[in-house]
Amino acid sequence: MLFPTFDFAIFFAVAFTANWLLNPYPAPWKLSMLALSYVFYGWVGWGYCLLLLSTTAIALVGGNAVVRSTTEKRRRLAMALSCAGLLGLLGWFKYYGFVSVNLDNLTHVLGLGRAVPLLQVALPIAISFYTFMALSYVIDIYRRHLSPARPLDLALYLSFFPHLLAGPIVRGNELLPQLRHRCDPTAVDYSRALWLILAGLFKKVVISSYVSSAIVVPVFTAPAQHSALESIFAAWGYAVQIYCDFSGYTDIAIGLALLLGIRFPVNFDAPYTARTLQDFWRRWHITLSRWLRDYLYIPLGGSSGSEARTVRNIMLTMVLGGLWHGAAWTFVFWGALHGVGQGVGHLRRRRRVRRGLAAVAEGPVRIWMQRFWTFQFVCLGWVFFNATGLSDAFGVLGRVASGWERPSPLVTPLLVLVVIGTVVSQLVPPDAVERLQATFSRQRSAVQVGVLALILLGITTFGPAGVAPFIYYRF
Write out the catalytic residue numbers: 325
**Taking a C-beta distance cutoff of 8 angstroms, is the pair 280, 264 a contact?**
no
448 contacts: CB under 8 Å, gap ≥ 6: 191, 194, 440, 441
Distance between start and end Cα atoms, the chain: 16
The CA angle 26-27-28, to the nearest 5 degrees, is 95
How many Cα atoms are found within 13 Å in the side-chain-facing hemisphere of 305? Answer: 13
Instruction: Tell which residue, 10, 30, 14, has the closest CA to residue 22.
Output: 30
Q: How many residues does the chain have?
A: 475
**Taking a C-beta distance cutoff of 8 angstroms, is the pair 342, 311 a contact?**
no
Instruction: Tell which residue, 277, 281, 245, has the closest CA to residue 386.
Output: 245
Instruction: Tell which residue, 117, 107, 118, 55, has the closest CA to residue 85.
Output: 55
What are the φ and ψ backbone dihedral angles of 102, each rounded to 5 degrees? -70, -35
CA distance 99 to 37: 32
83 contacts: CB under 8 Å, gap ≥ 6: 62, 135, 138, 139
CA distance 72 to 76: 6
137 contacts: CB under 8 Å, gap ≥ 6: 59, 63, 146, 149, 154, 157, 158, 172
- What one-character-per-residue DSSP string does 283-302 give? HSSHHHHHHHIIIIIHHHTT
Instruction: Tell which residue, 197, 226, 198, has the closest CA to residue 214.
Output: 226
Exposure string of 90-101, with b = 16+ CB inside 10 Å and e = fewer, is beebbbbbbebe
Sign of CA dihedral 277, 278, 283, 288: positive
- What one-character-per-residue DSSP string does 331-370 give? HHHHHHHHHHHHHHHHHHHHHHHHTTPPPPPP-HHHHHHH
Residue type, 109: V
The CA angle 167-173-175, to the nearest 5 degrees, is 50
Instruction: Tell which residue, 356, 358, 300, 296, has the closest CA to residue 324.
Output: 296
